Amino acid sequence: MKHIKQYSYIIIGAFLIIIGAYGQISGKNQEKEISLPGLQELFNTVFYYIKSNHVEEVSNQKLMIGAIEGMVKALDDDHTRFLQPEAYNEFKVETVGEFGGLGIEISLRENFLTVVSPIEGTPAMRAGLKPGDKIIEINKQSTKNMALNDAVSILRGKPGTSVNITVAREGYDDVLFFNIVRAIIKIKHVSAEIIQPGNIGYLRLKQFSQNSAEEVKKELLEFKKKKVKGIIFDLRWNPGGYLTAAHAISNFFIKEGVIVSTKGRVESENRVLSASSVNAIFTDAPLIILANEGSASASEIVTGAVKDHKRGIFIGTKTFGKGSVQNEIRLNYNYAILLTVQKYYTPSGVCIHKIGIQPDIEVKQYELPDSDKNNFKELHNQKIIEKFFEQPIEYSPENLKKFMNYLEEKKYPLSELGAKIIFKNEYYNTHKRPVFDLEMDIQLQRAIDEMKKKI
């Protein structure tokens, strides 16, 4: 121990002198890669000295779990995650379709905690979070260098409690502040309705869960009984899910050919998933896919397959661009790792990872006009909107006008379109949201117009 103390003093005294030369020295030492036994010896040595001599005692578990998390972080892969028991339990609950939280799918993109997609009908969607929003603070704590698991743990919580989120959004000069009350998130994955006139089948899928294929199949068979003339399949805001569900659902519309292929380092595990005519349900009726920047992963598999096979057309905006496949590997003591093992490729051989899929017909949804954005920020931060909607109020042209007059009195006026977008969002906080709202949904309006040309 005395020997160690002497060297400690030397290191402290010499640190400022040798720091300039460190880069040259370390560069020479690292020209030759260290062997695995050598690395293991290095790890054990560091572990020994930390355990024996660090100023504060630290448990074996904390050191080893930290080492594992560091190993995963070194992959520089946004989608590989090491799940500790609490996070793993939440992950398992989420895939079933009910969990406590805000209702957003988040990811790390370019080292920023990024919203992939808010889930419709959840606190996150009602609050106005959007795909691409960069979460820079949670409860005034910076998310810089925050692990994805840690962020999820903070965002999740007891229903009825609130969390403060600071967001940087493209097109806004200043950050946006959101105070969102957590709730039990119940996801009804599939909804369907027939649009008249035209007898068009509208099918919405919000997430690719373990049961999604069976739920979609049930609705498609019902459409068949009712002799629908065409199908609009809505995958907007769908963050993805199980590869098997994406394959099965694609096969309902495509009777032959490759749907998706996966390629990784282990060649024997590379797969080509093809369609089978036995599982096809709707292969002749006109098909339109609706997707947007919140459509990721499994949503992009279906969209890519339909587009490449020219089975239907894709209307909307460019998809998110998640083209990697993760295996859920269960470990001892209720730990797990979601490990990226492959990238997937559309039938034409394209990997859309970090690229996304371009629509055949680009249609952007209604957004707040630029003239409204600054006023909206102040209305949101000062909770002026919430005060108007403290008592439930019906949506009507008369009440919309009252709302616009109220905003003018508060000196933060909005255009009629901006006021209508906000009024509708607030209205659906206290009223059942319809399967679709044609007044505000110009992407669906365009899909119906295109479908009428085909049927």
Residues 246 and 323 in one domain: yes
Range in 9-13, 182-186, 342-346 with the lowest mean pLDDT: 9-13
- The more confident residue out of 143 and 286 is 286
Which of 319, 356, 315 lies closest to 443 in space, CA to CA? 315
pLDDT digits (tens, 9 = 90+) for 353-385: 999 999 999 999 988 787 888 888 788 778 899
pLDDT given for residue 97 in this prediction = 52
Residue 178 and residue 114: Cα distance in Å, rounded? 15
79 occurs within a structural domain:
no
Phi, psi of 331 (to 5 degrees): -115, 175
What rounded mean pLDDT belongs to the chain?
A: 88
Whether pLDDT at 398 is above 70: yes
Residue 296 and residue 321: Cα distance in Å, rounded? 6
Q: Express as a percent the part of the chain with pLDDT over 70.
A: 91
Whether pLDDT at 7 is above 70: no
> Annotated catalytic residue: which of 297, 299, 307, 372?
297
Residues 281 and 354 in one domain: yes
Residues 197 and 315 in one domain: yes
Q: Express as a percent the part of the chain with pLDDT over 90.
A: 60
Contact call for residues 282 and 327 (beta carbons, < 8 A): no
20 occurs within a structural domain:
yes
445 occurs within a structural domain:
no
From 345, 366, 387, give the residue that closes a domain. Answer: 366
- The more confident residue out of 134 and 117 is 134
Residues 170 and 285 in one domain: no
Residue 107 annotated in active site: no
> Annotated catalytic residue: which of 130, 255, 322, 377?
322
Residue 297 annotated in active site: yes
Amino acid (1-letter code) at residue 132: G
Per residue in 208-242, is it b (16+ CB within 10 Å) or e — as a string? bbeebbebbbebbeebeeeebebbbbbbbbbbbbb
Whether pLDDT at 281 is above 60: yes
Residues 151 and 139 in one domain: yes
Residue 52 annotated in active site: no
Residue 342 and residue 323: Cα distance in Å, rounded? 9
> Which DSSP state fits 241?
B
12 band by pLDDT with thresholds 50, 70 and 90: very low
Task: Provide the pairing of β-strand 313-316 with 287-291.
Answer: parallel
390 occurs within a structural domain:
yes
Per residue in 92-103, is it b (16+ CB within 10 Å) or e — as a string? eebbebebbbbb
Q: Tell me the pTM.
A: 0.75
DSSP for 36-64?
A: HHHHHHHHHHHHHHHHHH-SS---HHHHH
- Here the CATH number for the domain that contains residue 293 is 3.90.226.10
pLDDT given for residue 166 in this prediction = 94
Range of the structural domain that residue 340 is part of:
190-366
- The more confident residue out of 235 and 1 is 235
Whether pLDDT at 34 is above 60: yes
Whether pLDDT at 233 is above 60: yes
Per residue in 413-452, is it b (16+ CB within 10 Å) or e — as a string? bbeeebbbbbbbbbbbeeeebeebeeeebebbebbbebbe
Residues 210 and 149 in one domain: no
Residues 1 and 138 in one domain: no
> Which DSSP state fits 373?
H
pLDDT given for residue 21 in this prediction = 37
- The more confident residue out of 185 and 301 is 301
Q: What mean pLDDT do residues 125-151 have?
A: 87
pLDDT given for residue 351 in this prediction = 96
Whether pLDDT at 23 is above 70: no
Tally the domains of the chain: 5
388 occurs within a structural domain:
yes
Residues 202 and 350 in one domain: yes
Residues 221 and 298 in one domain: yes
99 band by pLDDT with thresholds 50, 70 and 90: low
Q: What mean pLDDT do residues 435-453 have?
A: 95
Residue 324 and residue 351: Cα distance in Å, rounded? 9
Which of 396, 400, 377, 398 lies closest to 388 in space, CA to CA? 400
Residues 291 and 356 in one domain: yes
Residues 376 and 415 in one domain: yes
114 occurs within a structural domain:
yes
Residues 178 and 194 in one domain: no
144 band by pLDDT with thresholds 50, 70 and 90: confident
455 occurs within a structural domain:
no
Range in 267-276, 286-295, 297-306, 387-396 with the lowest mean pLDDT: 387-396
Neighbours of 270 (CB within 10 A): 12
- The highest-confidence range among 81-90, 175-184, 307-316, 422-431, by mean pLDDT, is 307-316
Q: Where do we find the tokens 């992009």?
A: 300
The CB-side HSE value for 162 (13 A sphere, CA atoms) comes to 9
pLDDT given for residue 17 in this prediction = 32
- Sign for the CA dihedral angle at 246, 248, 252, 253 comes to positive
452 occurs within a structural domain:
no
131 band by pLDDT with thresholds 50, 70 and 90: confident
> Annotated catalytic residue: which of 78, 133, 234, 308?
308
The CB-side HSE value for 273 (13 A sphere, CA atoms) comes to 22
